[in-house]
């Protein structure tokens, strides 16, 4: 019987719950013996000219091995327009930008010495507000004529809304958030006697990181080995490598000793890239019968100080996915990425798509309220039907498969939507100070949107066990279990006998890695393809062994026995075949390149209570359909959904990275940043639905980000819905109590 | 982050601790549970050269009735106070508030003495102690003195304690028959109060109202107490909760919002106090 | 100074800098790296261990303060090959993903169950309020702790 779709307990867990993972800071590799400890001195100001750095006193502090600044670095500057320098040279552009590197003998000496590095900053005006940034009064990069670093789509054509009976427009914020994986960034590195650099890095993509770091150091990628040990979460912010490890690799060469680095959480919150950060103007037009005819999305993306993915790529995802699950004939989607004196923005779980979904889902509610129609009904009238796939959107996406209305109906039924509406009405009528709000989101997103390939390699060992290597290096998703399940199912070899390895560029030289919910569809498909190739090799060998025709040989996937069709006696085992094939011959090494994006979808319904006295919102229920096709391991699948739901709700209710007008972060420690905890979340109500795609051999779509995408607008819509009877039409995220109370007060004043 | 270099001294008695304070003078800082001091030291916002650990002084860990009061040793941890049978029965407001501080781990380390001595306007226990009209006992080189709670909190992170004094005991009038209410308003459950209100209701005095985070120091809502004394209903009286306060003005919670919260929470705490006591307010 | 701590039932005696935090003492001096550090503001609970049976955040305790105490880390929970019920339940209910919060979360759960052997789901949530997890959304952690208490987990 196939184990696909069964709840398989993860093979990763035993170590993690008994002796703990081996995260970078835990490594005790002999290669790191005698390592010096590293700490970056980071800019405490948002925007300034650096006029002098005096490290003499720091250099004399106990245990200091070196204090290094841009003046010491003999590396080529990083490529790309306005790229962040390895260490700040004559200017700093955000609080947290690395300015110097302190190396000490012991960990405890770092902060003592770093405090003594004396940097003179000649302040320049901070650029925080996006409108100010657009106006360009202060330019981040002298010599340019604008802070706009990139645009996506084409400028807005107002005529799109001509002839619409109803047009609603609103400016909304999709706020900047901190990815905040629980493990901060860290690295360790050592140069070998052979001149090769080995680096351990907390990264989602060892191979991309190797290429970036080797590039920065002027090395050929083969002169570097990069290992991702256990990684304590990434959520997009550990894609590839930041500039910091390049400096570490260089420093290790400079001082001739291994180097270890682990940032503090307070550093992490300002120095690791942030996510989201869009100001959106949404315009929706249609007729009073509920038909939406045109949608406009005008985005100003906060790129932060130096262009990263948040500037260059993600807003393009937002404009691509602008129309969501709806059949909307006219769409105007445009984005300008503007630089500000803040932490650069890059990917965070969903990366461009949550922003799109939040915009369209807010717009649908605004439209529904305007025409006085139930939001579920408005959605139903505009959803793309199951018979319309593949569906080509006006923005250029081709949705593969979907059952959007079915997903919506399922959450409505499971929630008892009508009953909840009745309860809402009852409370309002009774003047209950605690009001009820229902929020809906219908979403579709794009996974494996990078359209890159992925590697998969496997070999059947002489004892019949399997070693497999995936390029998809995980950080909590449980690939070792899921990919072993894929192979076990295919080969009939028990999971316990399958070892999935990843994360070491000397074992897997070419790969893309884990982001964009791509792992199972690409990495898993690569595994499957490798399995297929090995099966064909094995079939040949088996045919030779039993002297039968290849066409008559079959694999019994229940027990992994090769046999002549219909003649189980005389079957040959994998071990026998592997022995027969000789050392490592029963192997395959594939690059799965048939990678097309898929479009998972779903519907979420959030129920909130709002205390109108204080503005406090309590999330009571979160009901979700997240359809990503067939499920390999429901345990892992549900785990991904849970995590996504929590992070989505966190954005809606709690989390925001904020700066004051001078560019000082005001949520720069974990005491201030409202990272969601167990007490702010309900039990999640997950509903199953699985619509396969035809675009990969497993039929799967990505699940890593999906739930984040739906839950954010569902929760936000619920907050607005709770207050709609007061005349509230919108509350920006996060819907913290002060903001909600303000909305209530403003509404009361209007009445 | 890690604290700056320090030298650690552990005292096993109050006398020994006083001796160490005398020896090191300005350079020394008392360390109780360490859950206000160590976070500051880790961020290098405090850097005492010597810390005198008084957290393990057994003679300062107790909860017992002494006549009309419950005497609480200053090194009693929040968790122990919260779960103490005597405290729960005789001074339920204080016992309850101890259970609302931070999270379980914090409550396993932090002490009531440290919490009061720190003088943090955002801390919860000071408001409770104020509402209960407790008396704080300090020992210094010249012996012990008693300080009424109302005179203890002097300003932002400042108290009536001298640098050579140790808070040893908190004497809380027994109030088993009095209603009480505590409203702690936070974004996440374990956060510090944005605003908090502690009410001790009933006879023999009028209800007493203590406010968390409504000024530079923990304060009493005297305007509310006056209004109640003058015969206002709890709802009417609560409208005065923000009078004379100067709450912090922060992006996520403006002073105006805090004033509003103070009135709403005071009304709720008064209501709860009335409900919780047979004698009513 | 010299600190003597019984760690996971084993007596340890080491010379440390006075300012050494217990978490660094465990990780760097004693080599017990399961206990993680997730913040510098006593906010995340990743560093949670038991000191004399109670959960504490070991990043906010000096090793010197724990002198003479008994400390339990996740490494000391299992009895040989037999997992502690909380460990077993975390695995069975997929209460962990990246595993970084897990040692601290498990120790907080052990302490919680010590104080409240049959917690409701709400009790579990409030009992774990000092521990942050970025991956799981907490749902399965609540399942795991309820299961570890011997109660039925609704599905
Ligand atoms: C994550 C976290 C969350 C928290 N949340 C809350 C909260 O919600 N509400 C709240 O009220 N508190 C909160 N706290 C603070 C906690 O309650 C502290 O334990 C308390 O404020 C200080 O007590 P302590 O015993 O830890 O004192 P310490 O930190 O040891 O000392 C605090 C100060 O008081 C001085 N001191 C200590 N004892 C004495 C004494 N006997 N005599 C004279 N001076 C003394 C010290 O020198 C120091 O200056 C939180 C702390 C943390 C780390
Ligand atoms: S490391 Fe975050 S609380 Fe200790
Ligand atoms: S499992 Fe990753 S932080 Fe909890």
Domains and CATH numbers, chain A: 14-20+32-124+185-262 (3.90.1170.50), 275-447+597-750 (3.30.365.10), 450-592 (3.30.365.10)
What pLDDT is attached to residue B277?
43
Q: Is the predicted pLDDT of residue C67 greater than 80, yes or no?
A: yes
CB contact under 8 A, C42 and B39: yes
Question: How much of chain A, in percent, has pLDDT values that exceed 70?
Answer: 100
Q: Are A216 and A158 in contact (CB under 8 A)?
A: no
CA-CA-CA-CA torsion for B227, B229, B235, B237, nearest 10 degrees?
20
Common-topology check for domains B7-53 and B180-273: no
Instruction: Using an 8 Å CB-CB cutoff, list chain B residues near A111.
Output: 1-2, 4, 44
Cα–ligand 1 centroid distance for B25 (angstroms): 21
Architecture of domain B7-53: 2-Layer Sandwich (3.30)
What's the mean pLDDT when you consider all of chain A? 95
Rounded CA-CA distance A482/A487 in Å is 9
How far are the Cα atoms of A357, A394, A432 from residue A731, in angstroms, in the given order? Answer: 16, 29, 21
Rounded CA-CA distance A355/A359 in Å is 6
Q: Which of residues 36 through 75 in chain B touch C, CB cutoff 8 A?
A: 38-39, 42-43, 51, 53, 55-56
Query: Which of C43, C100, C103, C105 has most ligand 2 atoms within 8 Å of its beta carbon, as the pocket-test mutant?
Result: C43
pLDDT in tens, A108-125: 999 999 999 999 999 999
Which has the closest alpha carbon to A623: A650, A598, A641? Answer: A641
Q: Give residues with Cβ within 8 angstroms of A232, minimum separation 6.
A: A21, A23, A181, A182, A183, A202, A475, A476, C36, C98, C99, C100
Q: Which residues pair with A605 in a beta bridge?
A: A440, A623
Give the pLDDT mean for A718-727. Answer: 97
Q: Which residues of C90-109 are buried (b: 16+ CB within 10 A; e: fewer)?
A: bbbbbbbbbbbbbbbbbbbb
Q: Give residues with Cβ within 8 angstroms of A352, minimum separation 6.
A: A313, A314, A315, A316, A317, A318, A320, A321
For residue C105, the ligand 3 atom closest to its alpha carbon is 4
DSSP characters over A32-101: GTTPEEEEEEE-SSSSEEEEEEE-HHHHHSTTEEEEEETTT--SPPPPSTTPPPSS--SEE-STT-EEEE
Q: Which of residues 153 through 192 in chain B touch C, CB cutoff 8 A?
A: 188-190
The DSSP call for residue A441 is E
pLDDT in tens, B93-149: 999 999 999 999 999 999 999 999 999 999 999 999 999 999 999 999 999 999 999
Which has the closest alpha carbon to A375: A645, A718, A622? Answer: A718
Which has the closest alpha carbon to A701: A525, A529, A472, A479? Answer: A525
**Residue A632: phi, psi to the nearest 5?**
-75, -55
Give the pLDDT mean for B255-263. Answer: 98
Q: Is the predicted pLDDT of residue B275 greater than 70, yes or no?
A: yes
Rounded CA-CA distance B10/A232 in Å is 37
Higher pLDDT, A570 or A307: A307
Regarding an ipTM greater than 0.85, the answer is yes
Q: What's the burial of A196, exposed, middle or buried (CB within 10 Å: 0-12/13-18/19+)?
A: middle
Give the pLDDT mean for A722-735. Answer: 97
Question: How much of chain A, in percent, has pLDDT values that exceed 90?
Answer: 87
**Residue B127: phi, psi to the nearest 5?**
-65, -40
Instruction: Using an 8 Å CB-CB cutoff, list chain C residues near A107.
Output: 24, 28
Question: What are the helix (H) ranges across chain C?
Answer: 22-24, 85-92, 102-115, 121-127, 139-148
Whether the CB of B11 sits within 6 Å of ligand 1: no
Q: Are A598 and A629 in contact (CB under 8 A)?
A: yes
pLDDT in tens, C71-120: 999 999 999 999 999 999 999 999 999 999 999 999 999 999 999 999 99
CA-CA-CA-CA torsion for C142, C144, C146, C150, nearest 10 degrees?
180
Which other chains touch chain A, taking contact as 3+ CB pairs less than 8 Å apart? Answer: B, C
CB contact under 8 A, A17 and C87: yes
The DSSP call for residue A219 is -
CB contact under 8 A, A678 and C36: no
Cα–ligand 3 centroid distance for A671 (angstroms): 18
Beta pairing class for B50-53 and B7-10:
parallel
Q: What is the SS3 assignment for C28? A: helix
Instruction: Compute the nearest-CA separation of B79 from chain C (Å).
Output: 10
Question: What are the helix (H) ranges across A120-273?
Answer: 130-135, 206-217, 244-255, 265-271
Cα–ligand 2 centroid distance for C105 (angstroms): 11
Tell whether B57 lies on the interface with A, counting CB pairs under 8 A: no
Give the pLDDT mean for A226-247. Answer: 96
**Residue A294: count of CB within 10 angstroms of its CB:** 22
Question: How much of chain C, in percent, has pLDDT values that exceed 90?
Answer: 99
Q: Is the predicted pLDDT of residue A512 greater than 50, yes or no?
A: yes
Pair of tokens at residue B128: 């409770």
Cα end-to-end distance, chain B, whole Å: 48
Instruction: Using an 8 Å CB-CB cutoff, list chain C residues near A644.
Output: 137
What's the mean pLDDT when you consider all of chain B? 94
pLDDT in tens, A346-367: 999 999 999 999 999 999 999 9
Q: Are A501 and A487 in contact (CB under 8 A)?
A: no
Given the candidates 3.20.20.70, 3.30.390.50, 3.20.170.30, 3.40.50.1220, the CATH classification of the domain at B180-273 is 3.30.390.50
Instruction: Using an 8 Å CB-CB cutoff, list chain A residues near B188.
Output: 654, 674, 676-677, 679-680
pLDDT in tens, B205-240: 689 999 999 999 999 999 999 999 999 999 999 999
Pair of tokens at residue A596: 């097309």
What pLDDT is attached to residue B204?
56
Architecture of domain C85-148: Orthogonal Bundle (1.10)
Give the pLDDT mean for A590-599. Answer: 88
Domains of chain C by residue range:
2-76, 85-148
**Residue A195: count of CB within 10 angstroms of its CB:** 9
Cα–ligand 3 centroid distance for A62 (angstroms): 36
pLDDT class for B281, splitting at 50, 70, 90?
very low
Cα–ligand 2 centroid distance for A669 (angstroms): 12
**Residue A222: count of CB within 10 angstroms of its CB:** 12
Question: What are the helix (H) ranges across A497-524?
Answer: none
Pair of tokens at residue A392: 């080509």
Q: What is the residue whose two structure tokens read 């440390």?
A: C16
Q: Is the predicted pLDDT of residue B278 greater than 50, yes or no?
A: no
How far are the Cα atoms of A150, A356, A553, A687, A733 from residue A337, in angstroms, in the given order? Answer: 5, 15, 59, 37, 20
Q: What is the SS3 assignment for A490? A: helix
Tell whether B185 lies on the interface with A, counting CB pairs under 8 A: yes
Residue of B nearest to C66 (CA): B56
**CATH number belonging to domain B58-173:** 3.30.465.10
Residue of B nearest to C38 (CA): B1
- The CA R_g of chain C, rounded to the nearest whole Å, is 15
Q: Which fold has domain C2-76?
A: Ubiquitin-like (UB roll) (3.10.20)
Residue of B nearest to C58 (CA): B105
The region of weakest confidence among A265-269, A382-386, A505-509 is A505-509
Residue A474 is inside which H or E element, if any? none
Helix axis angle, A417-430 relative to A404-415, nearest 10°?
Answer: 50
pLDDT in tens, B140-192: 999 999 999 999 999 899 999 999 999 999 999 999 999 999 999 999 999 99
Q: Which of residues 55 through 84 in chain C touch B, CB cutoff 8 A?
A: 55-57, 59-62, 64-65, 67
Query: Which of B110, B130, B217 has most ligand 1 atoms within 8 Å of its beta carbon, as the pocket-test mutant?
Result: B110
pLDDT class for B203, splitting at 50, 70, 90?
low
Give the pLDDT mean for A256-280. Answer: 98
Question: How much of chain C, in percent, has pLDDT values that exceed 70?
Answer: 100
Q: Please, what is the Cα angle at C47 between C135 and A37, to 5 degrees?
A: 100
Give the pLDDT mean for A377-385. Answer: 98
């Amino acid at each position: 019987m196939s184990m696909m779709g069964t709840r398989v307990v993860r093979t990763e867990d035993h170590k993690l719950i008994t002796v703990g993972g081996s995260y970078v800071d835990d490594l005790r590799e002999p290669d790191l013996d005698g390592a010096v400890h590293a700490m970056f001195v980071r800019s405490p100001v948002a925007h300034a000219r650096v006029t002098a750095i005096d490290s003499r006193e720091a250099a004399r502090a106990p245990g200091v091995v070196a204090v290094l600044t841009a003046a010491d670095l003999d590396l080529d500057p990083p490529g790309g327009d306005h790229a962040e320098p390895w260490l700040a040279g004559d200017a700093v552009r955000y609080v947290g930008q690395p300015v110097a590197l302190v190396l000490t003998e012991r960990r405890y000496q770092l902060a003592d010495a770093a405090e003594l590095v004396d940097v003179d900053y000649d302040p320049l005006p901070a650029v925080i507000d996006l409108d100010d940034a657009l106006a360009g009064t202060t330019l981040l990069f002298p010599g340019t004529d604008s802070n706009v670093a990139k645009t996506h789509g084409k400028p807005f054509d107002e005529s799109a809304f001509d002839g619409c009976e109803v047009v609603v427009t609103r400016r909304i914020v999709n706020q900047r958030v901190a990815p905040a994986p629980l493990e901060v960034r860290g690295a360790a590195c050592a140069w070998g006697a052979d001149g090769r650099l080995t680096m351990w890095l907390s990264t989602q993509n060892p191979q991309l990181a190797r290429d970036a770091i080797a590039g920065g150091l002027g090395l050929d990628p083969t002169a570097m080995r990069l290992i991702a040990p256990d990684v304590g979460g990434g959520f997009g912010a550990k894609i590839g490598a930041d500039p910091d490890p390049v400096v570490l690799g260089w420093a290790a060469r400079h001082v001739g000793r291994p180097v270890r680095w682990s940032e503090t959480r307070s550093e992490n919150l300002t120095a690791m890239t942030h996510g989201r950060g869009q100001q959106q103007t949404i315009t929706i037009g249609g007729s009073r019968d509920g038909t939406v005819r045109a949608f406009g999305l005008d985005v100003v993306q906060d790129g932060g100080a130096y262009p990263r993915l948040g500037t260059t790529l993600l807003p393009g995802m937002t404009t691509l996915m602008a129309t969501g699950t709806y059949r909307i004939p006219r769409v105007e989607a445009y984005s300008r990425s503007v630089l500000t004196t803040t932490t650069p923005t890059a990917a965070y779980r969903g990366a461009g798509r949550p922003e799109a979904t939040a915009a369209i889902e807010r717009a649908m509610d605004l439209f529904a309220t305007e025409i006085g129609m139930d939001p579920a009904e408005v959605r139903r009238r505009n959803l793309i039907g199951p018979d319309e796939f593949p569906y080509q959107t006006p923005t250029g996406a081709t949705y593969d498969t979907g059952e959007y209305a079915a997903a919506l109906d399922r959450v409505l039924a499971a929630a008892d939507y009508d009953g909840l509406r009745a309860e809402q009405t009852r409370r309002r009528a009774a003047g209950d100070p605690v009001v009820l709000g229902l929020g809906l989101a219908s979403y579709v997103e794009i996974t494996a949107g990078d359209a890159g390939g992925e590697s998969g390699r496997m070999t059947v060992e002489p004892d019949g066990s399997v070693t497999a290597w995936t390029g998809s290096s995980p950080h909590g998703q449980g690939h070792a279990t899921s990919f072993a399940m894929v192979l076990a199912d295919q080969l009939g070899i028990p999971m316990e006998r399958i070892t999935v390895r990843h994360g070491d560029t000397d074992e897997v030289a070419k790969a893309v890695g884990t982001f964009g919910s791509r792992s199972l569809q690409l990495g898993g498909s690569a595994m499957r393809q490798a399995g297929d190739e090995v099966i064909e090799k094995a079939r040949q060998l088996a045919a030779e062994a039993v002297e039968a025709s290849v066409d008559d040989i079959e694999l019994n996937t229940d027990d992994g026995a090769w046999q002549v069709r219909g003649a189980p006696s005389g079957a040959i085992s994998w071990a026998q075949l592997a022995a027969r094939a000789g050392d490592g011959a029963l192997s395959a090494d594939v690059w799965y390149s048939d990678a097309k994006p898929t479009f998972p979808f779903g519907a979420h319904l959030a129920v909130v209570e709002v205390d109108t006295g204080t503005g406090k919102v309590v999330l009571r229920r979160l009901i979700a359909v997240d359809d990503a096709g067939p499920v390999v391991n429901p345990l892992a699948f549900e785990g991904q959904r849970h995590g996504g739901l929590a992070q989505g709700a966190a954005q809606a209710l709690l989390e925001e990275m904020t700066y004051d007008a001078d560019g000082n972060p005001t949520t720069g420690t974990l005491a201030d940043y409202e990272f969601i905890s167990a007490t702010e979340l309900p039990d999640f109500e997950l509903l199953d639905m699985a619509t396969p795609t035809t675009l990969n051999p497993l039929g799967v779509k990505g699940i890593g980000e999906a739930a984040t995408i739906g839950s954010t607008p569902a929760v936000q819509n619920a907050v607005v819905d709770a207050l709609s009877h007061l005349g509230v039409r919108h509350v920006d995220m996060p819907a913290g109590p002060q903001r909600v109370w303000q909305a209530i007060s403003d509404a009361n004043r209007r009445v | 982050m890690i604290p700056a270099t320090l030298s650690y001294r552990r005292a096993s008695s109050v006398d020994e601790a006083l001796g160490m304070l005398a020896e090191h003078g300005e350079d020394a800082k008392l360390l109780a549970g360490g859950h206000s001091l160590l976070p500051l030291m880790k961020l290098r916002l405090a850097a005492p050269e010597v810390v005198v650990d008084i957290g393990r002084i057994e003679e300062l860990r107790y909860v017992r009735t002494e006549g009309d009061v419950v005497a609480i040793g200053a090194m009693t941890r929040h968790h122990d106070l919260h779960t103490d049978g005597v405290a729960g029965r005789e001074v339920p407001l204080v016992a309850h508030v101890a259970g609302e501080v931070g999270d379980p781990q914090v409550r396993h380390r932090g002490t009531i003495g440290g919490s009061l001595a720190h003088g943090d306007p955002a801390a919860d226990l000071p408001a409770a102690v104020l509402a209960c009209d407790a008396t704080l006992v300090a020992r210094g080189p010249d012996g012990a003195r008693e300080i009424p709670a109302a005179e203890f909190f002097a300003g932002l992170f400042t108290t009536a304690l001298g640098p050579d004094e140790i808070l040893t005991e908190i004497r809380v009038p027994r109030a088993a028959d009095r209603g009480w209410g505590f409203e702690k308003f936070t974004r996440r459950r374990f956060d510090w109060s944005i605003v908090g209100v502690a009410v001790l209701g009933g006879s023999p005095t009028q209800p007493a109202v203590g406010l968390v985070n409504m000024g530079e120091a923990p304060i009493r809502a005297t305007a509310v107490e006056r209004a109640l004394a003058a015969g206002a209903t709890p709802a009417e009286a609560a409208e005065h909760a923000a009078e004379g306060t100067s709450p912090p003005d922060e992006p996520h919670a403006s002073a105006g919002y805090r004033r509003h919260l103070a009135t709403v929470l005071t009304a709720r705490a008064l209501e709860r106090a009335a409900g919780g006591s047979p004698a009513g307010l | 100074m010299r600190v003597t701590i019984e760690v996971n039932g084993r007596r340890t005696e080491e010379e440390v800098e006075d300012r050494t935090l217990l978490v660094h003492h465990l990780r760097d001096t004693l080599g017990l790296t399961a206990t993680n550090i997730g913040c510098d503001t006593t906010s995340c609970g990743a560093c949670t261990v038991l000191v004399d049976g109670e959960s504490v955040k070991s990043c906010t305790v000096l090793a010197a303060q724990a002198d003479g105490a008994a400390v339990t880390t996740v490494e000391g929970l299992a009895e040989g090959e037999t997992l502690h019920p909380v460990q077993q339940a975390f695995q069975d209910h997929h209460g962990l993903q990246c595993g970084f919060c897990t040692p601290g979360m498990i120790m907080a759960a052990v302490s919680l169950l010590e104080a409240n052997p049959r917690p409701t789901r709400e009790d579990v949530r409030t009992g774990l309020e000092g521990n942050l997890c970025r991956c799981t959304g907490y749902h399965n952690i609540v399942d795991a702790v309820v299961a570890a208490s011997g109660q039925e987990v609704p599905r």
